[in-house]
Structure 1
Amino acid sequence: MDEKKRKFRVYLIIIVIITLLSYAILYALFWDLLSGVLLTLEGILMGFFVILSKICILALMSFYIFRRWLKQDAIYTSDAYFLFGSFFWILTSGKILDLFWNIGFIGSILDMNFFLFLLKIRFAIVILTIVPILFVGLEAILTFVNLYKKKEMNKQQFNKIRKEIIIIYIIVIAILIAIAPSVPFMNIMLPFISFPMFLFIAIMFLYMYRNKYLSQANGLIIGLSFFLLIVASIVRSVLSLSLEALPVISAEIIDIGVYILMFIGFITKPGYAK
């Protein structure tokens, strides 16, 4: 088992290095343009550091959860801690790209086709971010079927159904992203994709909490966090319409608060599991 842990630790380090190196190259290629925007537009530098702080906080959350996962006696990629850690790391990766995209968009320094390409990559990251949480949340289906159906669903049947649901979700969203013709269309499409999925995940975690199914994390806090994430996303969209820096910074701080609450839900066991 120690050998297995060492291998996974190496794999995680390699993934982190590749991710950060890729973004370092992207930022380096456009740094002259990006730094010009940061230094010339009023208030954007403060917003830059707030978003950078959010990225660091998310990365630390991911590190902490992965560390917890590696401390377990037996580790599997289907473990809740591994999936929660993956969620925060993919989210961190997406926020790094968000930062680049936002600076470039505000400063109007890049070609619109390139913006569209970056936005499609960002949406693909959104899909990957949701998948680990969806994997855990779909446990609610097994709970529901076994509670209300006369014939219990075995684990093998459930894993097959869960895999099919996730694959169908990825394929459908990937097709929508591939055929998206413009940046405005992508911005309109995002809420229609993410909000129903956030709501679905919230309901699943609350359902598992009510039925005392999830023992590694607090489904109540996680479910409420995803409800708040929908509200925070709407608030951020409204505040981002302002040309002032303060409303945008306020939206980012609200975001940080929601993710911290979600993190608490991931690492806190419910009362019935203590």
Structure 2
Amino acid sequence: MESKKKKFLYSIFTIILVLTIFFSVLYYLYWPTLIATIFSSEGLWIGVVLIICRTLILGIMSFFLYRKWLRQEAIYISDAYFLFGSFFGILTCAKVYDLFYNLVIISGVFNPEFVLLLVKIRFFIIIVNLLPVLYIGLDAILIYINMNKNKEMDKKQFSKLRLRIMFGFALVTALVIVLAPTLNFLNLVFPFITILIYIAIAFMFLFMYKNKRLTQANGLIIGIAFICFIVSNLLRTILININLSYSIFAELIDIGINLFMFIGFISKPKYA
């Protein structure tokens, strides 16, 4: 088991190193434009600072969950702590990318094809980010099936069903992203898809909480947090359309939601 833990640590350090190099090169290549954009827009630097703070908070939460996972006697990548840690870990990378992406969009100096590529990458990251919590949330399907059928579905059957659902979800959303012809099309269709997924995940965790099936985390808090994410995304769109500087408030709200979700990830329900 110790060798397995060491292997994981080496893997995660390698991933962190590769991502650090990648983002360092990315920011280095466009640094003059990014800096000029920050100082050319009044108050934009506050938003940048908030995104950096949120990134650090997410990274700390991811580290805490991974450490909690590693301290268990037996570790599996299907374990809730690993999946929750992965969710925050991917979200940490997403925020580093988002900072670059947002500054590029605000600068307005890049051609539409490049911007469309960046948007597609951003939506790919969103999909990957949702997979860990979707994996856990799909347990609700097993609970529902077993509650409404005389014969229970065994874990092997359910594992196959879960993988099919996740593969189908990833494939359909990937096709939408890849085949999206314009930025407007992607911005119109994809948020609708992600909102539906947020609703589904929220329902899954609330369902598991109601039926007292999730013991490693508080499904009620997690479900409410995902509902809050939906409201936050809608609010962010409204605020940005009113005034770009208002996105600062949206970032603060998201930090609060992330912290609330983290509490759900690390706290056990009363029935556990």
What pairs with 1:62-141 in structure 2 (closer than 5 Å)? Answer: 62-141=62-141
Counterparts of 1:95 and 1:244, CA distance in 2: 18
State the Cα RMSD in Å: 0.9
Question: Which amino acid letter does the alignment assign opposite residue 155 of structure 2?
Answer: K
What pairs with 1:207-222 in structure 2 (closer than 5 Å)? Answer: 207-222=207-222
Contact 1:87–1:129 under 8 Å retained in 2: yes
Question: Which amino acid letter does the alignment assign opposite residue 29 of structure 2?
Answer: L
Q: Percent identity among equivalent residues? A: 46
Question: Which amino acid letter does the alignment assign opposite residue 219 of structure 1?
Answer: G
Contact 1:43–1:244 under 8 Å retained in 2: no
Q: What's the counterpart of residue 256 of structure 1? A: 255
Scaled by the length of structure 1, the TM-score of the pair is 0.97
Shift of 1:109: 2.4
> Which consecutive unaligned segments of at least 5 residues does structure 2 have?
none
Once the two structures are superposed, residues 20-79 of structure 1 have per-residue CA deviations (whole angstroms, 9 ceiling, x without a partner) of 221111000000111111122111111110111111111111111011111110000000
What pairs with 1:2-21 in structure 2 (closer than 5 Å)? Answer: 2-21=2-21
Counterparts of 1:229 and 1:74, CA distance in 2: 33
Counterparts of 1:95 and 1:188, CA distance in 2: 21
Once the two structures are superposed, residues 206-225 of structure 1 have per-residue CA deviations (whole angstroms, 9 ceiling, x without a partner) of 01001110110000000000
Shift of 1:243: 3.0
Counterparts of 2:39 and 2:202, CA distance in 1: 41
Q: What's the counterpart of residue 33 of structure 1? A: 33
> Which consecutive unaligned segments of at least 5 residues does structure 1 have?
none
Q: What count of residue pairs does the alignment treat as equivalent?
A: 272
Q: What's the counterpart of residue 44 of structure 1? A: 44
Counterparts of 2:3 and 2:125, CA distance in 1: 31
Shift of 1:264: 0.6
Q: What's the counterpart of residue 269 of structure 1? A: 268
Q: Structure 1 runs of 4+ off > 2 angstroms?
A: none
Counterparts of 2:220 and 2:20, CA distance in 1: 33
Indicate the larger mover: 8-17 or 221-230: 8-17
Counterparts of 1:264 and 1:110, CA distance in 2: 40
Match of 1:72, SS state, is coil
Once the two structures are superposed, residues 170-196 of structure 1 have per-residue CA deviations (whole angstroms, 9 ceiling, x without a partner) of 110111001111222211122211000
Contact 1:38–1:45 under 8 Å retained in 2: yes
Question: Which amino acid letter does the alignment assign opposite residue 87 of structure 2?
Answer: F
